Amino acid sequence: MEEDFYPAYYELEGRHWWFVGRRRIFLRLLEREFPPAARPIELLDFGCGTGAFLEHLEHFGAVSAVDSDASAVAFCHQRGRGEVALVPPGAPLPFADDAFNLVTTLDVIEHIDDDVGALRELRRVMRPGGRLLVAVPAFMFLWGKQDEVSHHRRRYTAASLRAALAGAGFAVERASYFNTLLFPPVAAVRLGRRLFRQPGGAESDFELGPDALNRALGAVFGAEAELVARRDLPFGVSLLALATKP
């Protein structure tokens, strides 16, 4: 991601509707996979960004985390997350084989040239029967300035994400699109920008906007949590998968 945007992300991760809504969806999925009787577990957040999600993952067990960007790791440390380690892109993870019950990688592998290789390394550090939760942006026709600012390599379909996971040796249990309720306006904005694109520098979509609108969008997005926990949705701005290490 463009270095200039890390300070803004650090400030916004706890409040912006996109972060709030997706966090609600991810936590609902993890609550179903790891109910209280199955905790505590050992878990890894691969590509933790500025670290806002880590305090929520602590409800499930002992959290380890890595990121490949020094600025992101510095913000994690500023947040008090001294356990977050810097791991350069493509480097082996500093963990033993079969170390974790759960690995999360949320909006990360789309940044990586060799996504299958990265997923294979995540599989190495997972215990047999361990779970992987991965989330990525969906559909190349939604490609926009946020993808460029974020240095994305690709957006995925359910088929391409399943193929990447299978290529890394995972058994894919489910793949669902999400951010479905807001898909029509997001798609209209993205396609409109492509049709009427203006020249200019990098600019992020992550602006807080009016409080009332931000809260409303967060509520709409987060309302999908129970639905996504129970069934796979056929389209959306984003895509997630749950997979297992055989």
Each residue of 114-148: pLDDT tens digit?
999 999 999 999 999 999 999 999 999 999 888 98
More confident residue, 171 or 3: 171
Sheet arrangement for strand 126-137:
85-86, 61-67, 41-46, 100-106, 126-137, 238-244, 171-178
Bond preceding residue 128 cis, omega within 30 of 0: no
Of 164, 185, 196, the residue nearest 17 (C-alpha): 185
15 three-state secondary structure: coil
Asked if 157 and 239 count as a contact pair (C-beta separation under 8 A), the reply is yes
Residue 121: phi and psi, rounded to 5, are -70, -35
Q: What is the pLDDT of residues 65-111, one digit of tens each?
A: 999 999 999 999 999 999 999 999 999 999 999 999 999 999 999 99
The pTM score is 0.92
Rounded to the nearest 5 percent, the helix, strand and coil shares of the chain are 45, 20, 35
Q: In this structure, what are the phi and psi dihedrals at residue 101, rounded to the nearest 5 degrees? A: -80, -30
Domains of the chain, first to last: 3-244 (3.40.50.150)
Amino acid code (one letter) for 14: G
Query: DSSP 3-state assignment of 39?
Result: coil
Q: Where are the beta strands (DSSP E) in 23-143?
A: 41-46, 61-67, 85-86, 100-106, 126-137
Cα end-to-end span (Å), the chain: 33
